[in-house]
């Protein structure tokens, strides 16, 4: 049993991006331990399919079609979940999109789209659920950032900045909420098998390069979810994984200029390989 299930015996979780990838993997793990799970996603068809699987595993899914960048819609969904579940124990601000392009070639509309989902979606989730957690004097917020906030590879400006913002939000809330017995964890994984680039707008080359790293990783979403839930139960703020990501985090602090050059080298290699595949 996960420590989180012992800490929060009422077992009430809300997960954005729950229809697939890491969000679904979180729901799957919690379902095995009988959690009531608010499953929110913009893809209604996939959400319904995922919910049926969660129910079979022993979970109690509550479905919420949700565009996390829509603050009014999010407000209504949060209020409805709190009424149905009677409170909240775990909040997974997990929904996100991956994309990239040269900084000045990525349209301002695309920047706004990325910020709306990856950054404002996290802010809305925290904003709407923290008051209830404070009243309860309990809860745990798990914000999905990325090792991209560490690496900040070229052509990934919009994605990098939103994920760095999630780290900053998490660090801020960690300090603000500790006196209310509310934990905060910031999740920073490298690539693993997910469909984060399914809505990418920045071009096929960047999409193929990203997919190449995803395929090469060998990491499955369920394995990642299991480690995150275990480490969150240990009240870790920074959940950086796997080992290579922790090395990145260390190198950036010990040798920042050298690290920037290595990131650039890896980026150039990935882009050249993606271009060869597309030709």
Least confident of 167-176, 193-202, 232-241, 259-268: 193-202
Superfamily of domain 3-278: NAD(P)-binding Rossmann-like Domain (3.40.50.720)
Distances (CA, A) of 197 to 208, 223, 245: 9, 20, 20
| Strands 60-65 and 36-41, bridge-based pairing | parallel
Higher pLDDT, 254 or 201: 254
Q: Give residue 220's pLDDT.
A: 85
Q: Give residue 51's pLDDT.
A: 98
Q: Give residue 183's pLDDT.
A: 98
Residue 268 burial by Cβ neighbours in a 10 Å radius (0-12, 13-18, 19+): exposed
pLDDT digits (tens, 9 = 90+) for 17-41: 999 999 999 999 999 999 999 999 9
pTM of this structure: 0.90
pLDDT confidence band for 16 (50 / 70 / 90): very high
d(CA 272, CA 124): 38
Domain ranges of the chain: 3-278
d(CA 63, CA 44): 9
pLDDT confidence band for 244 (50 / 70 / 90): confident
pLDDT at 197 over 60: no
């Amino acid at each position: 049993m996960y420590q989180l299930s012992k800490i929060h015996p009422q077992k009430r979780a809300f997960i954005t991006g729950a229809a697939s990838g890491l969000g679904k993997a979180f729901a799957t793990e919690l379902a095995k331990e009988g959690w009531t799970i608010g499953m929110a996603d913009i893809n209604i068809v996939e959400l319904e399919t995922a919910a049926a699987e969660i129910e079979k595993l022993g979970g109690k899914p509550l479905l919420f079609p949700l565009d996390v960048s829509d603050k009014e819609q999010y407000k209504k969904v949060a209020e409805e979940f709190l009424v149905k579940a009677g409170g909240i124990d775990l909040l997974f601000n997990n929904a996100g999109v991956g994309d990239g392009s040269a900084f000045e070639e990525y349209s301002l509309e695309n920047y706004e789209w990325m910020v709306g989902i990856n950054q404002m979606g996290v802010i809305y989730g925290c904003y709407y659920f923290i008051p209830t957690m404070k009243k309860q004097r309990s809860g745990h917020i798990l914000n999905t950032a990325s090792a991209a906030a560490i690496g900040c590879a070229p052509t990934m400006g919009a994605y990098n900045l939103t994920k760095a913002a999630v780290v900053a939000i998490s660090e801020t809330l960690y300090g603000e909420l500790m006196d209310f017995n509310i934990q905060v964890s910031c999740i920073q994984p490298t690539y693993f098998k997910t469909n984060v680039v399914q809505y990418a707008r920045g071009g096929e080359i960047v999409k193929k390069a990203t997919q190449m790293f995803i395929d090469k990783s060998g990491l499955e979403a369920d394995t990642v979810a299991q480690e995150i839930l275990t480490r969150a139960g240990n009240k870790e703020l920074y959940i950086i994984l796997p080992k290579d990501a922790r090395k990145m985090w260390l190198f950036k602090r010990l040798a920042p200029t050298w690290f920037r050059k290595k990131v650039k080298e890896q980026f150039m290699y990935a882009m050249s390989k993606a271009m060869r595949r597309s030709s």
